[in-house]
Structure 1
Amino acid sequence: MAATYALEMTERMTIIRGDLERDSEYLCEFEDAWNVWKYDGTEKTVPLPPDYENSVYRWAKMGVPIQLIERAIKTAMTKSRLRGPFPEFTYMAGIVWRTLEETDVPIGLTEATVRLYTAGELEERLTNERIEAYLQGCATRGA
């Protein structure tokens, strides 16, 4: 049982490392797209709020296409008379969230969606069953 637990933990850490790497790549793509824009006549980039990474990581986890964010950045950077703290980022983030909210999703499920969703559910169920089996094994040994 201990070997199984160790293998499962190794697998989980591998998944977490992969997620962190993908998040970092997504953040780099965002920053590259953002830093293309400079203040008129200078090499100074448009500032980002201190917590901008939280939004970017959330979009990465949600699977928001970077192309949508790039388009929103362009729209925000070319918009005049924006006000407030970090107005370009705020406006850009609003475009991203509004686009996500307004995107129509068909009510019916496709075969591909059902297969993907079911595979995810199956993995979750198997993981939960493994954890339960491990805990029951520990409880049995402790009794």
Structure 2
Amino acid sequence: MDYLSLKGIPSKRIVKEICGLYRDVFNEDRQLNERMDDKPNVDVQLAYENGTLIGFKIGYEQSPTTFYSWLGGVRSTSQGKGVALQLMRNQHAKAKEAGYKIVETKTMNRWRKMLLLNIRFGFNVTAVEESQTGDGKIILQKAL
């Protein structure tokens, strides 16, 4: 497994790889390049196996003290190997190095694996907000 850390918006080739993996993991398309353009201080963590992207974690500055862990996913054939945990560790280490004090993320009950990983990794549920689809978004925070 090879891990790569990128500061700022990645190249078009890498964004295309991430979008493909996102589509495989979540069964939906997302135009991440357009969505990343307006995010400050983007941080991208990638996991490769034999030259193939198998996992990603994207975050950005929410405030001068808070880093927002935005999107992430791991290819189904690579789940259970600790990839998501290592991507999270890498992301939090970079956020701490950059001076952030808190990491925040949001998830939903339907993404139970991610919810449980966040809780196991020290996040606390701080609130639940209504989403556009009617599902509750669970807001979690962790001190760095």
Scaled by the length of structure 1, what TM-score is found? 0.24
* Larger RCO (alpha carbons 8 Å, 6+ apart): 1
Greater fraction of residues in helix: 1
Greater fraction of residues in strand: 2
